Structure 1
């Protein structure tokens, strides 16, 4: 499935979420890429776009390993990876406002989706990335995962999971700087995006600060183009500004 020598390939994990779908569409419209893999829990179609390659996963370790091996084998020039996984609320859980609201089951769900799964995908892709001379990897983080920027408290599980994700990515960036010098890692804060994740919390968003997924996808693409491999993890917001750890 690999294209011509100068063609590139991309992978979007979480390709049917609001941001992930917009990123996949943006990449599919970029002439540099002849294949854009999209991984989702839902059965998806390519929607008539020839270069989109939909894959289904249950996010089990076996599925993650198998699909990563398939993508790496068929895409020797994988130059963009976007891991767009995240959850803030769902059936029976939401952001906690107090210590008394903490529950083990909801914490485990939030940690798994926001921290464990992105790192498992990165782990499974690592063997192939080590052979790649140029691959920019972005993982959806959040400003609320910043310990230094936390002046409000609350949202215990989501904040903690994103902070743990950031630490995992930091460790990975140090390792990849030694073993995969062509890889650039980025923890990306998209801002407040008009998706199902933020819908219950949009009332207090200042005018002009509720972004469309398409705007965020464009900003992320530009940031990935601007940041070549440098052996470091960048923690950036949608405007390209660094966020304190």
Structure 2
């Protein structure tokens, strides 16, 4: 890997992965809302910031998302659904990431392997959903998984060695998961970044469009 791009480089996982790739010898470009004014909910902002990139990038990681809008908790029941809050979650997690991915064809090398990892979540798996709840977050990630899968098919036609995958990092100790304390504990951003970097390094073009966890295991849609 020579050139890498991290979208969401100011977040816990994005920052850690940028550091991990630099430690592995890559030249890393990091973009974020706080550092570069990249607002994924604003199409003009995405066009301006992403349009300023030249590439090509051998590796891309998109680490953008919210669990719920500020001051709002993930819904545990249908009665808690709020249209505005749901629209905001989809605007960031699904539409915003889709706008970022729309720039991939221009930024990836036409020849040679490239890999793009899109941060998603296991709770976005419909087949694995046994608890219910978290309606907006689950649905936004399920929709994102579909976008990643479709993007992999489209881009694979012109970039035959490109790998594009939806990635679940596990439960990572960041501001994102503050207040959520599963019994099995959390991993550090640095450990998650190492695991994700290893998974991305090992994926083949035949696996493009898939949904994988931090151990490289395929997850059900």
TM-score band by shorter chain is: over 0.9
CA distance in 1, matches of 2:48, 2:143: 25
Please state if 1:38 is matched with 2:30.
Answer: yes
C-alpha contact 1:12 1:38 (8 A) present in aligned 2: yes
With a CA cutoff of 8 Å and minimum separation of 6, indicate the structure with the bigger relative contact order.
2
Pick from 176, 182, 189 the counterpart of residue 161 of structure 2.
182
Q: Could you list the per-position Cα deviations for residues 14-49 of structure 1 after superposition, in whole angstroms to 9, with x for gaps in the alignment?
A: 000010110111112122x2x211111113xxxxxx
Name the SS for the 1:174 alignment partner: helix
Structure 1 portions without partners, runs of 5+: 1-6, 44-54
Please state if 1:160 is matched with 2:160.
Answer: no
CA distance in 2, matches of 1:69, 1:100: 41
Please state if 1:112 is matched with 2:91.
Answer: yes
Q: How do 1:90-169 residues align onto structure 2 when only pairs under 5 Å count?
A: 90-129=69-108, 131-169=110-148
Higher helix content, 1 or 2: 2
CA distance in 1, matches of 2:147, 2:119: 13
Pick from 8, 24, 37 the counterpart of residue 14 of structure 1.
8
CA distance in 1, matches of 2:206, 2:155: 10
Q: Could you list the per-position Cα deviations for residues 175-204 of structure 1 after superposition, in whole angstroms to 9, with x for gaps in the alignment?
A: 1221221210111111110011111111x3
CA distance in 2, matches of 1:92, 1:36: 34
Please state if 1:218 is matched with 2:194.
Answer: yes
C-alpha contact 1:69 1:125 (8 A) present in aligned 2: no
C-alpha contact 1:174 1:231 (8 A) present in aligned 2: no
| Residue of structure 1 in register with 2:206 after alignment | 230
In the TM superposition, residue 85 of structure 1 has moved relative to its aligned partner by: 0.6
| Residue of structure 2 in register with 1:25 after alignment | 19
In the TM superposition, residue 231 of structure 1 has moved relative to its aligned partner by: 6.3
Higher strand content, 1 or 2: 1
Name the SS for the 1:201 alignment partner: coil
CA distance in 1, matches of 2:152, 2:211: 12
Question: Structure 2-normalised TM-score?
Answer: 0.93
C-alpha contact 1:11 1:80 (8 A) present in aligned 2: yes
Please state if 1:68 is matched with 2:47.
Answer: no
